[in-house]
């Protein structure tokens, strides 16, 4: 990367080819969350010899904020949640629900219910 060349030694031919290109890379923290007590190298667990070849390294943090996380989860759920109408009032038992889900994989776009949306929101907030 530093010399912007590619060295080839094959079939008795030794040469260097120009390899001028830009590289954009991304990495997640090895422990799923950024540890402020560790260095970048320790957090992403990439060798120093590789990271040192990049001209710029940007750190994008996602701070934990329950209010923001709940608003984000509510927004994501609202994209798929449809408010109940009179025709949605019928309750399905488990065997019918299993059959419906199987059928829906092929033919239907299922809608997320209120209880499921609240559970998804709570699970997301708990994970954060």
For residues 2 and 107, which has the higher predicted lDDT (pLDDT)?
107
Per-residue pLDDT tens digits for 81-102: 766 554 555 565 788 888 878 8
Q: What is the pLDDT of residue 44?
A: 92
Q: What is the pLDDT of residue 82?
A: 66
Q: Give the position of tokens 């799923």.
A: 32
Q: What is the pLDDT of residue 11?
A: 87
How far apart (Å, rounded) are the C-alpha atoms in residues 43 and 69? 23
Q: Cite the DSSP H helix spans in the chain.
A: 40-44, 48-51, 66-78, 94-107, 114-127
Does residue 20 surpass a pLDDT of 90? Answer: no
Closest CA to 76 of 29, 123, 28: 123
How far apart (Å, rounded) are the C-alpha atoms in residues 88 and 97? 14
């Amino acid at each position: 990367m530093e010399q912007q060349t590619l060295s080839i030694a094959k079939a008795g031919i030794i040469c260097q080819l120009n390899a001028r290109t830009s590289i954009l890379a991304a990495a997640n923290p090895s422990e799923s969350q950024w540890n402020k007590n560790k260095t970048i190298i320790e957090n992403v667990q990439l060798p120093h010899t590789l990271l040192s070849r990049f001209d710029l390294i940007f750190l994008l943090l996602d701070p934990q904020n329950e209010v923001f996380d709940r608003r984000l989860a509510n927004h994501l759920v609202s994209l798929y949640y449809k408010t109940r109408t009179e025709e949605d009032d019928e309750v399905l038992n488990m065997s019918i629900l299993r059959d419906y889900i199987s059928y829906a994989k092929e033919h239907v776009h299922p809608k997320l219910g209120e209880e499921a949306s609240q559970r998804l929101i709570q699970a997301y907030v708990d994970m954060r």
